[in-house]
Structure 1
């Protein structure tokens, strides 16, 4: 058992570091191959780093690089994460931020004309893929992730409004710096980035699962042992075809739990009926995945 735990810890460490590297490469490619040549901005801290880079290029004697600014702007947020969120969480975020800064510097921008629409689409897709993969492996990419977690813990509400406000500032800056057509492309790449993140990172997506079964206890035990979800039980339900007595189980899960719950139900009762619907919001007690 000790050897198995050690293997799991080692595998978990390698997967997180690999995800950090993959995100860093993705954001560097998106920035230097698409956003910079297309004169458009990303969202969040990366977008702010680009914004300051543009301002320094135009108004200061020294141009501040986007890669260095990305690192510097994340420093106070990393301190906030260390104090308010957790040391392990912050450790992997630091690795991600450092790798991102280094690879942004190493990957040089393309010196060629690319259609701005292509830049917006591919930049958003590549960065969204890297960010979603990082989040799926339980690590943060820094920036607004940290602000969002702290606000959610403090107030219990989403940080969506702050994210929208920051991104609106970035889009407005793109409009003033490069023209409003480029602002539109910046808005497009931010939108695509968010949609791709949602497609890859599914932890925050909730599903309601309804199970009709003659073996409720085995399914309940399997679900509560594997994912610690609350379950509502409807007794004395009758099947219209077989007229056998059944029970209906209803639970809400994260989308990434779907494989596990399907495996539990098939193993416990191969003849069970299960339906799954998307949930808009959840009120009351719901156990989120812990951040450490």
Structure 2
């Protein structure tokens, strides 16, 4: 059943795909940066057999890889992955028809920098909302399944092979920049994903626990958990408030506690990922 959350997910996946397509069309394709993935294969094929556009190569390769995936892995590909993979071709075709082949810069460093940055942000958005760009991810999953490698290592292995092919076809300079892009891209994707999922985990001990609880629920529109505590020094019963929230809400909460109970005790930790109601839906991961 299609819901409001599904609509949000597909809109965000579309935004991520658009960013990846822009990075390919304006930075990777013109500079022949075969930085792994299905786009890297398309760039190499486009050089060897230029009569076919890179967008067509990506479309054909996606179909082939999905067929291989169904054969070896079964029905593991969700609608979001299929949507993201083929929406990419639509965006690339639109860009080609609107602006054609274009070189914004001939500087390999600038092409690598901006292409990798845009691609990393776009892919992080796609992954964050339960999608995938398909392609060589499927090959990595097959290697992981039959040779028992970690999925991350399998994906890196596939990307290195594609980058090595780019080095043979385009030469050392382009090959080394492509390798640099592969190494940076994976790290940036992880950083961006972690950045969108981080939160503050807060434990509060205060004589004004009821006022703080009401502020969290009514003003911040969050929930919290009330724990029963026992003071080791005072030997008195006390309430401990446990809550997880984003950085902005934490600042508002801290300022409120400073006003109502300056003697309150707060323990604050940085949480790398939060799943469940009010946060990332665990069912799409």
- The interval holding the TM-score normalised by the smaller chain is 0.5 to 0.7
- Determine if the alignment matches structure 1 residue 85 to structure 2 residue 85: no
Deviation at 1:186, TM superposition (A): 0.7
Question: Equivalent residues in 2 for 1:191-202 (5 A)?
Answer: 191-202=183-194
Number of paired residues? Answer: 253
Deviation at 1:159, TM superposition (A): 0.6
Q: Indicate the residue corresponding to 2:34 in structure 1.
A: 41
CA contact (8 A) 1:148 1:158 kept: no
Q: Indicate the residue corresponding to 1:74 in structure 2.
A: 62
3-state DSSP of counterpart to 2:49: helix
- Determine if the alignment matches structure 1 residue 55 to structure 2 residue 51: no
136-145 or 242-251: bigger deviation = 242-251
Distance 1:45 1:246, change over 3 A: farther
CA contact (8 A) 1:132 1:201 kept: yes
User: Which one of 137, 153, 168 corresponds to residue 160 of structure 2?
Assistant: 168
Cα distance per residue 1:65-96 (max 9 Å; x no partner): 3212222222355464794436xxx2222221
User: Which one of 252, 256, 259 corresponds to residue 246 of structure 2?
Assistant: 259
Distance 1:246 1:190, change over 3 A: farther
104-113 or 30-39: bigger deviation = 104-113
The whole-number CA distance in structure 1 between the counterparts of 2:12 and 2:156 is 26
Deviation at 1:101, TM superposition (A): 0.8
Deviation at 1:203, TM superposition (A): 8.4
Deviation at 1:160, TM superposition (A): 1.1
The whole-number CA distance in structure 2 between the counterparts of 1:169 and 1:140 is 20
Distance 1:147 1:177, change over 3 A: closer
Distance 1:138 1:274, change over 3 A: farther
The whole-number CA distance in structure 2 between the counterparts of 1:68 and 1:207 is 42
What's the Cα RMSD here? 4.7
Distance 1:200 1:113, change over 3 A: closer
Q: Indicate the residue corresponding to 1:95 in structure 2.
A: 83
Normalized against structure 1, the TM-score is what?
0.65
- Residue segments in structure 2 that go unaligned for 5+ positions in a row: 258-263, 273-280
The whole-number CA distance in structure 1 between the counterparts of 2:149 and 2:245 is 25
Distance 1:133 1:180, change over 3 A: same
CA contact (8 A) 1:41 1:170 kept: yes
Normalized against structure 2, the TM-score is what?
0.67
Q: Indicate the residue corresponding to 2:134 in structure 1.
A: 142
3-state DSSP of counterpart to 2:267: strand
Distance 1:146 1:173, change over 3 A: closer
User: Which one of 157, 167, 186 corresponds to residue 178 of structure 2?
Assistant: 186
The whole-number CA distance in structure 2 between the counterparts of 1:154 and 1:209 is 40
The whole-number CA distance in structure 2 between the counterparts of 1:115 and 1:245 is 67
Deviation at 1:122, TM superposition (A): 0.3
